[in-house]
């Protein structure tokens, strides 16, 4: 059996009934198991996680995209998180590293169907990218919905990989990709200083010379500020390293961490690595995790 994970992000986090309907479209797909859903009102964004064999995962993702296109109007959407689609991103993630090629094929199959049947422009990113300049999601989503709407059809660099060369009037566009497991991790500060959050993000993210495999941005919340991060390889930059990088810089500026949060699900290897660091237990391995042994036996 080949299982793949799908973690679509939707531009809706304030209307539970809408998220309920999208989640129902996923869970009602034969062969799909819904694992998790989370919504954030500040970001106005929801993340749904599910697994299935490739054909089932593709179908579940398609139903979710179609439902979101019917229920979400991006012209009325406001939130802290960058977005250019009602269904903003749809990454396929291998449960086993050797199945990345299956995820790439799934992304391409889904993208062709979304473009043809729903009339939504599709951009492939990360391992599914057909153009090297589109590997990085931030580059694909540059300008967000409003920027893409003004440039698509005029600038050849913004031509979609699938679908029409015009944004869907309500649903915008969608980025569909294949990537290794990443960790979406936010650290919220007891501060209203947005420039501080942005400065910390700039100091710690890889593209500006900071920590490897870490993306970060500073965002304003209703009750404070946030350093929002993606750890694209938690083996190179761990959760604890990312947390300490934010905490220490905030402390130097006289601010404290209010809380941190993980968005979506964590790979068990990341939890094991965190336990090794916190407990000073260098010999602790994944093989000592009960659920890991059970999962390996089921998938072998």
Helix axes 16-27, 54-71, angle to 10 degrees: 150
Contact (Cβ atoms closer than 8 angstroms) between residue 238 and residue 270: yes
Backbone angles phi, psi at 238, to 5 degrees: -85, 170
* C-alpha dihedral, 46 to 21 to 146 to 215, nearest 10°: 20
How far apart are the C-alpha atoms of 231 and 116, rounded to whole Å? 33
- Concerning whether 42 is annotated as a catalytic residue, the answer is no
Place of tokens 């679509």: 8
Tokens of 254: 């006289």
Q: Which of 43, 81, 108, 168 is catalytic?
A: 81
Tokens of 160: 């979609």
DSSP assignment of 121-154: -EEEEETT-SSGGGSSHHHHTTTHHHHHHHHTTT
Long-range contacts of 288-292 (CB under 8 A, 24+ apart): 292/268
Contact (Cβ atoms closer than 8 angstroms) between residue 23 and residue 68: no
85 closest CA partner among 153, 9, 24, 157: 9
Q: What is the DSSP letter of 272?
A: H
Where do runs of H (alpha helix) occur along 178-267? 194-204, 239-252
Catalytic center residues = 81
């Amino acid at each position: 059996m080949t299982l793949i994970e799908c973690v679509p992000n939707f531009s809706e986090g304030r209307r539970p009934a809408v998220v309920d309907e999208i989640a129902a479209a996923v869970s009602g797909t034969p062969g799909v198991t819904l694992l998790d859903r989370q919504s954030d009102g500040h970001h106005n964004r929801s993340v749904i996680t599910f697994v299935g064999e490739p054909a089932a995962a593709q179908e579940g993702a398609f139903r979710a995209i179609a439902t979101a296109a019917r229920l979400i109007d991006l012209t009325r959407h406001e939130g802290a998180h960058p977005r250019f689609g009602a269904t903003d991103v749809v990454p396929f993630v291998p449960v086993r590293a050797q199945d990345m090629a299956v995820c790439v094929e799934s992304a391409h199959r889904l993208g062709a169907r979304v473009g043809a049947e729903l009339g939504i422009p599709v951009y492939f990113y990360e391992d599914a990218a057909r153009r090297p300049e589109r590997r990085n999601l931030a580059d694909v989503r540059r300008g967000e919905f409003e920027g893409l709407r003004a440039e698509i059809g005029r600038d050849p660099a913004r031509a979609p990989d699938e679908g029409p060369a015009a944004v869907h009037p309500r649903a915008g566009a969608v980025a569909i990709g294949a990537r290794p497991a990443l960790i979406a991790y936010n650290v919220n500060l007891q501060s209203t200083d947005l420039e501080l959050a942005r400065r910390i993000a700039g100091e710690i993210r890889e593209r500006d010379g900071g920590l490897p495999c870490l993306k970060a941005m500073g965002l304003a919340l209703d009750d404070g500020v946030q350093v929002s991060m993606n750890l694209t390889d938690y083996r190179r930059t761990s959760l604890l390293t990312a947390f300490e990088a934010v905490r220490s810089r905030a402390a130097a500026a006289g601010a404290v961490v209010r809380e941190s949060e993980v968005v979506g699900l964590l790979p068990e290897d990341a939890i094991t690595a965190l336990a090794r660091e916190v407990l000073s237990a260098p010999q602790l391995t994944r093989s000592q995790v009960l659920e890991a042994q059970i999962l390996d036996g089921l998938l072998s």
